[in-house]
Amino acid sequence: MGEIVRLQKYIAMSGKASRRAAEELITSGRVRVNGEKITELGTKVEIGADKVSLDGKDIKPEMKKYYIMLNKPTGYVSSVSDQFDRPTVIDLLDEEIRARIFPVGRLDYDTEGLLLLTNDGDFTYKVTHPKFHMDKTYIATIKGGITVKGLNMLRSGVKIEDYKTSPAEVEMLSCEKGVTVIKITIHEGKNRQVRKMFEAVGCRVIELKRISIGKVELGNLPLGRWRYLTSHEINYLSR
Ligand code: URA
Same domain (yes/no): 183, 222? no
Q: What is the pTM of this model?
A: 0.81
Regarding whether 72 and 188 lie in a shared domain, the answer is no
What is the set of active-site residues?
108
CA of 135 to the centre of ligand 1 (A): 13
149 with 203, same domain: the answer is yes
CA-nearest residue for atom 3, ligand 1, is 192
What's the number of domains the chain is made of?
A: 3
Contact 211, 112 (CB under 8 A): no
- Residues in contact with ligand 1 by the CB-under-6-Å rule are 107-108, 111, 192-195, 208
Index of the ligand 1 atom closest to the CA of residue 186 = 8
pLDDT value for 21? 84
Nearest CA to ligand 1 atom 7: 107
**Ligand 1 centroid from CA 119, angstroms:** 22
55-107 pLDDT, tens digit per residue, is 999 998 877 889 999 999 999 999 888 889 999 999 999 988 877 788 999 99
Residues listed for the chain = 239
Residue 96: its pLDDT value, please?
A: 80
Residue 208, domain CATH: 3.30.70.1560
182 with 198, same domain: the answer is yes
Residues 142 and 176 grouped into a single domain: yes
pLDDT tens, 18-59? 778 889 999 999 999 999 999 999 899 999 899 999 999 999
Residues near 208 by Cβ (< 8 Å), separated by ≥ 6?
A: 108, 110, 111, 112, 113, 138, 139, 140, 141, 194, 195
198 and 178 in one domain? yes
Query: Do 154 and 184 form a contact (C-beta atoms < 8 A)?
Result: yes
- What CATH number does the domain containing 116 carry? 3.30.70.580
pLDDT at 121: 84
Pairing between β-strand 44-46 and β-strand 36-37 as defined by DSSP bridges: unpaired
40 and 144 part of one domain? no
Q: What is the extent of the structural domain holding 169?
A: 135-213
> Is the same domain home to 123 and 91?
yes
Q: Are 150 and 161 within one domain?
A: yes
Residue nearest (by alpha carbon) to ligand 1 atom 4: 192
Rounded to whole angstroms, the Cα distance separating 44 from 29 reads 16
Task: List residues bridging with 4 in a β-sheet.
Answer: 46
Both 85 and 124 in one domain: the answer is yes
Amino acid at 19: R
If asked whether residues 141 and 199 sit together in one domain, one would say yes
Cα of 189 from ligand 1 centre, angstroms: 8
